[in-house]
Amino acid sequence: MKESLNFSRRKKILFIILTGIFLTNAIIAEIVGAKLFSLENTLGITEANIFLFGEGPFSFTLTAGVILWPIVFITTDIINEYFGIKGVKKVSFLTAGLIVYSFLVIWFITLLEPSSFWVNNYPGLKINESFNAIFLQGLGIIIGSLVAFLVGQLIDSFTFQWLKNLTKSKKIWLRATGSTLISQLIDSFVVLFIAFYIFNDYSFSLVLAIGCVNYIYKFFVAIASTPLIYLAHFFIDKYLEKANPSNSRLIQ
């Protein structure tokens, strides 16, 4: 009885920690996503100059949010492994709601009249206008990002469980990396299609080309992140085994 209670307590603590990691990285990724950076220039290499669907040349110009999204998807797979699809849904819908709340708060803050002391402290720079330009994103990007996030999460969770059942809970790399690759493929095009094809005047071929370039980056990051899944499993199993050595995994 004591082992069972201790095991249950540790599972709750684990879920809270994973939820915190998920929420923090997802919200920060949305906020810093307004910045675009050059992957090639950051790494000090020649730009790719890729041509696709009659469009280009394209280099790897990415939103800063891509630095944090891999952490979100790794956390998704870990939550799915130990808490199932229900756990992923709870965290995903909670995160989507908090992202909407964050944007509403930011929008309200941009309406506040700036202090003259703050404005005068940055001579030669329109600090209030710059602040608003950085933190306010277009409606299409916000809607596209939220829809893509939820669609990607649901596809990831169902694909993960399907692969887990198919392999009889073997091959962690396949269900973790495989589900991420599939969900990111959908996510990459959903956000661009909504934000730039529906709400802007980007051509369909241009959206496809940009989506493919973005997915190339996400594909290699997903593959490179696979060892982190095994590392997380190792530490979590050890943590749960301390409470119940005979049952380290959550029985779904």
pLDDT digits (tens, 9 = 90+) for 141-163: 788 888 989 999 999 999 999 99
DSSP state of 60: -
49 domain residue, yes or no: yes
Would you call 57 helix, strand, or coil by DSSP? strand
251 domain residue, yes or no: no
220 domain residue, yes or no: yes
13's tokens: 């603590």
Nearest by Cα to 53 from 220, 214, 207, 218: 207
248 domain residue, yes or no: no
**pTM for the whole thing?**
0.87
The residue type of 210 is I
Q: Is the pLDDT of residue 33 over 90?
A: no
How many structural domains compose the chain?
Answer: 1
95 domain residue, yes or no: yes
**Domain residues for 233?**
2-241
78's tokens: 């870990």
pLDDT digits (tens, 9 = 90+) for 119-142: 999 998 999 999 988 888 766 778
223's tokens: 């593959």
- Positive or negative, the CA dihedral 187, 188, 193, 199 is positive
Whether the CB-CB separation of 29 and 101 falls below 8 Å is answered with no
Nearest by Cα to 160 from 217, 70, 82: 82
